Amino acid sequence: MTINPPDPRPDQAQGPARRTLLAAGLLCAASAVGGASGWWAGRAAGRPSPSVPAGGSAVPTSPGAGWRTVAAGQDIAAAVRAGAAQILLGPGEYPVRDPIALPRGGLLRGTGQATRLVATRPMTGMVLIGAGEGTDGISVESLVLDCDQQAQSGVIVHVDGNSGNYQGEPDPVIRLDNLWVYDSTGDGMRYHGPDTRSCHTSRVRVRRAGGHGMAIEASDSWWVGCEATTLRSDSRSAGFHIAGTNNFFSDCKAWYCRDYGWHVRGTRNKFTGCESQDTRSHGWFIEYDKNAFVACVADTAGMYDVGGTPRTADGFHVLPEGNTSLVGCQAFDRQPGRHAAQQRYGFHVRPALLKSGLLVAPTGWGNLDGLVGP
């Protein structure tokens, strides 16, 4: 990944609106992204398909039955309030005036980067899942959530309760995939609530979050191939802030963070192949014990271009000393732009952790005060 200074806000001017989804477009999109389990499966099973009137907005035969298409420029939250549950969005810009609170079993699917949801006024979150009550089976896929310095978060998952879940499941089983989240005033993605479990988040890119890129107080959930950058520089934010337990993180990256890359304040979490890169403070600030790190990387903590200064930040700054292991991890300062190295230690760990053999095969280079210290 090529790291550049924070990019300016992209030009959001739109050309002539081509906002209407025709029946053929619905067929192609549903078959491409949903396969046999989507629109075609309903036809094959003899279920009624949505009709498409001249205005271009498909209407289900009854609230929640089949797909509802919402044309660009129209109100998604209003469609949900009217009974839509499975919503297909086409290319274009969708103003979000009120949070979109999807119902149980709801699905919101776009066409990727071409589908842009833009917050138009202050709100807690653009998409709310659970909102402090029980829910399950919700998916949000393939779209942009532009908080535009209006919304505190792109997505907030807050589930409390499991009554009514599919086949009596104890967990809500939420799916969030292929999302772009830009310019939140607070946390880009937020997960909390006592029953927020078995949530799978994949391929989500959070940019320029005003708080944490991802604030995770949930437990028993998965994050795969996600990344985050942040703006705050007062030791109160991180690309990934983890205060939950028994979570799994694979191939995720915090980069260009003006505070910590990863701040770990929960236990029994597993990190595999994750990285911090170009952070003002510690790449990894590990406060809580009983976590495991395998093949994780810290690249250039204390980085000058995000406000860092020499010898103020470590690649891994580890406070626990009893039941946290780091195996095959790497920490280095690559001296980007040929600037002098600034990262203090690769691994700042307690002597007891070293004595217990919990730091296994560390590697690195370019650290001002050494690979392992103090």
Query: Alpha carbon 250 to chain centroid distance?
Result: 13
Element holding 206 (H helix, E strand): strand 200-209
Query: Alpha carbon 285 to chain centroid distance?
Result: 19
Choose between 61 and 224: higher pLDDT: 224
- Residues 289/277, Cβ–Cβ less than 8 Å: no
> 0.75 cut: is pTM over it?
yes
Residue 173, helix vs strand vs coil: coil
- Residues 197/172, Cβ–Cβ less than 8 Å: yes
Question: Per-residue b/e over 335-356, b at no fewer than 16 CB within 10 Å?
Answer: ebeeeebbbbbbbbbbeebeee
List residues bridging with 68 in a β-sheet: 87
Chain segment 75-106, per-residue pLDDT in tens: 999 999 999 999 999 999 999 999 999 999 99
pLDDT at 316: 98
Mean pLDDT of 118-144: 98
- Residues 77/99, Cβ–Cβ less than 8 Å: yes
Q: Which residue has the tokens 């604030």?
A: 215
- List alpha helices for the chain, DSSP H: 23-34, 39-44, 76-81, 351-355
User: What residue spans define the domains of the chain?
Assistant: 64-373
pLDDT at 56: 35
Mean pLDDT of 203-220: 98
pLDDT at position 59 over 50: no
pLDDT at 234: 87
Share of the chain above pLDDT 90, in %: 80
Instruction: Tell me the C-alpha distance between 285 and 279, whole Å.
Output: 11
Instruction: Tell me the C-alpha distance between 342 and 202, whole Å.
Output: 32
Encoded tokens for 195: 């029953």
- Residues 364/329, Cβ–Cβ less than 8 Å: no
Encoded tokens for 159: 């589930």
- Residues 109/89, Cβ–Cβ less than 8 Å: yes
Residue 204, helix vs strand vs coil: strand
Among 7-21, 160-174, 187-201, 279-293, the minimum mean pLDDT is found in 7-21
Encoded tokens for 353: 């952790």
Chain segment 247-266, per-residue pLDDT in tens: 999 999 999 999 999 999 99
The reply to whether omega before 336 is within 30° of 0 (cis) is no
Question: Per-residue b/e over 124-150, b at no fewer than 16 CB within 10 Å?
Answer: ebbbbbbbeebbbbbbbbbbbbbbbeb
Q: Which residue has the tokens 């810290």?
A: 298
Closest by CA position to 352, among listed 327, 328, 318: 318
Element holding 5 (H helix, E strand): none
Instruction: Tell me the C-alpha distance between 40 and 34, whole Å.
Output: 9
Among 65-74, 125-134, 152-161, the minimum mean pLDDT is found in 65-74
How large is the greatest C-alpha to C-alpha distance in the chain, in angstroms? Answer: 73
pLDDT at position 54 over 90: no
Question: Per-residue b/e over 276-302, b at no fewer than 16 CB within 10 Å?
Answer: bbbbbbbbbbbebbebbbbbbbbbbbb
Amino acid at 318: V
Mean pLDDT of 54-71: 56
pLDDT at 146: 98
pLDDT at 182: 98
Q: How confident is the model at residue 16 (pLDDT cuts 50, 70, 90)?
A: very low
Average pLDDT, the chain: 86
Question: Per-residue b/e over 23-46, b at no fewer than 16 CB within 10 Å?
Answer: eebbeebbeebbeeebbeebeeee
Q: How confident is the model at residue 195 (pLDDT cuts 50, 70, 90)?
A: very high
pLDDT at 65: 54
* CATH number 3.40.50.40 given to 64-373: no
